[in-house]
Amino acid sequence: MSEALAQGATIGILGGGQLGRMLSVAASRLGYKTCIFEPGGDCPASHVANCHLQANYDNAEALAKFAASVDVITYEFENIPTSALDVLEALRPIRPGREALRVSQDRLIEKDFLAKLGLKIAPYAAVNSEAGLRNAVETIGTPAILKTCRFGYDGKGQARIDSAEDISEAWASMGDAPCVLEGFVSFTKEISIIAARGLSGEVSCFDPGENVHKGGILYTTTVPAQISAAQRTDAVLLAARILNELDYVGVLGVELFVTPQGLIVNEIAPRVHNSGHWTQAGCTVDQFEQHIRAISGWPLGDGARYADVVMENLIGDDMSRVPTLAKEAKTQLHLYGKAEVKTGRKMGHINRITD
Amino acid sequence: MSEALAQGATIGILGGGQLGRMLSVAASRLGYKTCIFEPGGDCPASHVANCHLQANYDNAEALAKFAASVDVITYEFENIPTSALDVLEALRPIRPGREALRVSQDRLIEKDFLAKLGLKIAPYAAVNSEAGLRNAVETIGTPAILKTCRFGYDGKGQARIDSAEDISEAWASMGDAPCVLEGFVSFTKEISIIAARGLSGEVSCFDPGENVHKGGILYTTTVPAQISAAQRTDAVLLAARILNELDYVGVLGVELFVTPQGLIVNEIAPRVHNSGHWTQAGCTVDQFEQHIRAISGWPLGDGARYADVVMENLIGDDMSRVPTLAKEAKTQLHLYGKAEVKTGRKMGHINRITD
């Protein structure tokens, strides 16, 4: 641990949501402080951070002040403007590094990257016009999904195309943004693997979880996933290939489709991931601490799974279930302290120990 | 949960040490913010709190400002000046209440309280002079321990008396403070029980832990304690009696000696307790969340023990062991972010899962 940050050092976190909140808590367990950079006020991460620098990402002065006040910089979301990264990177290390952000900020670049690495992905095509979309639909077929290359999450910035008749409306809904058309994959289940790589290059993966989505938003993650030992091994190996290729430092989430033809990579996220929240209840070291360990130069921790867990997101009005959930045995609550309940908003999650 | 604090409410915590730090983290899991009142700067709790009001306990204006900014007040140490409590109590509820503080702030009052409740305690006598100490030693015998009635912790404010020759020096070392002389108890082991009582009067206890001290400071707590089922039941029943008698709200630590004559109460602490840190690794809901649940009007959570755990304190130079401990399997680290390592200072702890 000669490279490790000293006790009392400060970790800068870009983004003030629930992932930043749980990263901040994990940092505290290892004796570190955090400083949150987030334009919004009263954000979930700021409630458990040593400081909150409230400014916009185009405020170079604030970014420089933030960088000067921390020892290393990480982030809880991937859509950080390049100009902000340029300011920050000149002053402090950013972990995971720029390459991981470059690749994951753009669906097209990400797909090209994964394809070049030899991993299986759904058929895809770049789309920059209605005519281009028409060509792509002809090649890829229907049903297919049109997605903006950038800034999409939780089903936003997406349109489903079931036949040629949907093309005009789908393209119009994208506001002329560069897009990618993805072919449908016939899968038996969705899983994800949360993988970590340390500063010294060591790799450690959590047990894959099985995901169920509702309305484009993650609903539950269940461990263990009902997959074969070979599929489990495949998931670990492909995650490790991605980590090594990116010279990655930190935790990475990889979403996968399980198909008769093998595992197909849906997307990667260069950060802690909603489908890894179960690790809080099932592992000695959870994904948040694993990320902090990696970016702080610690050895990776013991992420072996010791319990069966079902993680369930609490979305919007699910908050009305809290009084009932609070009384349930073997149920850990994690609420994010968000001031306002909104439809589709992630308000918290529960981890139920099921064995 | 009709009485429960609303999401986003703020819990005020008096004291900024590691107990406040871990209470603050637990509060965040339930969607609450915390504000720390602590005279010292850069304190462990402030690193994970929404705000830190840095002022002295004789600053009535600061205390009033603190109270106005929070919804309920709790504390991580019992030696809060009465004058400060008077200011705070006029503005916001203090949980656990004043009676618990009055009793536990003074060893003599505490012993009288426990004796009146019919619980077994070591023989004791009030001592206010050297002559009084001489009389007390004659009655109680040697070896015995002279302790100041107030402000002692981790072996401080204590002197051992092995024979009449020690009396003058022991009394002189107390600086004329009111004292209590305690007779020695011949015990087979020390255990403690961490008990909680909710706002509605429900009581829940964690499994008793077995404690080993070194130099007057807790060294390890091991669960399960090697005690009989009857002793376990006795511990729960006596803790419940104390909680009910004090109309207590929150978590209480009770230190006990196991003797052939039954359980003897050593002392009580009206707060989360070092010997309850193992609950972080062994229970769905740990002592910190249990305390926050109680004072916030939540139902008490599932504190059933699901793992065997050894908690070990990291004191002073034990911090040099962190690089080795960081690599150990089934070992959770909790570091307190204290800027300076000092001999005898609690710097962190580990929870080792042993089954």
Q: What is the ipTM of this complex?
A: 0.95
Give mean pLDDT, residues B171-185.
93
Encoded amino acid at B303, one letter: G
Q: Measure CA of the first residue to CA of the last residue in chain A; give whole Å.
A: 36
Interface of A with B in 54-83 (CB under 8 A): none
| Of residues A32, A330, A338, nearest to B337 (C-beta) | A32
Backbone Cα Rg of chain A? 20
Report yes or no: A282 at the B interface, CB cutoff 8 Å. Answer: no
Tokens representing residue A307 in the block: 């319990």
pLDDT higher than 90, residue B355: no
Of the candidates A302, A334, A72, the residue with the CA atom closest to the CA atom of residue B25: A334
Distance of alpha carbon B173 from the chain centroid: 25
Q: Which residues of A touch B1 (CB under 8 A)?
A: 322-323, 326
Tokens representing residue B264 in the block: 């003897």
Task: Give the DSSP letter string of B275-326.
Answer: GGTTHHHHBSS-HHHHHHHHHTTPPP----B-S-EEEEEEEGGGGGGHHHHT
Question: Cα separation of B209 and B186, whole Å?
Answer: 19
Q: Is B79 exposed, middle or buried (0-12, 13-18, 19+ CB in 10 A)?
A: middle
Tokens representing residue A254 in the block: 């990889």
Q: Which residues, given as ranges, of chain A have pLDDT below 70?
A: 2, 152-155
Question: Cα separation of A179 and A92, whole Å?
Answer: 33
Q: Is A39 exposed, middle or buried (0-12, 13-18, 19+ CB in 10 A)?
A: middle
Please provide the average confidence, as pLDDT, over all residues in chain B. 96
- Cβ proximity of B5 and B34 under 8 Å: no
Q: Hey, is A201 helix, strand or coil?
A: coil
Torsional sign, CA B118, B121, B123, B129:
negative
Question: Cα separation of B53 and B36, whole Å?
Answer: 6
Q: Which residues of B touch A299 (CB under 8 A)?
A: 323, 326-327
Look-up of token digits 């609950």: B279
Q: For A73-82, write each residue's pLDDT tens digit.
A: 999 999 999 9
Question: Rounded to two decimals, what is the model's pTM?
Answer: 0.96
Tokens representing residue B291 in the block: 């305390």
| Of residues A4, A302, A335, nearest to B29 (C-beta) | A335
- B106 Cβ contact partners less than 8 Å away, ≥ 6 residues apart: B149, B150
Q: For A146-195, write each residue's pLDDT tens digit.
A: 999 987 666 678 899 999 999 999 999 998 899 999 999 999 999 999 99
Q: Hey, is B156 helix, strand or coil?
A: coil
- A129 Cβ contact partners less than 8 Å away, ≥ 6 residues apart: A171
- Cβ proximity of A248 and A197 under 8 Å: yes
Share of chain B above pLDDT 70, in %: 98
Question: Quick one: pLDDT at residue A154?
Answer: 64
Task: Give the DSSP letter string of B60-80.
Answer: HHHHHHHHHT-SEEEES-S--
pLDDT higher than 80, residue B302: yes
- CA trace torsion A127, A131, A134, A139 (10° rounding): -60
Question: Quick one: pLDDT at residue A214?
Answer: 93
Interface of A with B in 294-313 (CB under 8 A): 298-299, 301-302, 304, 306-307
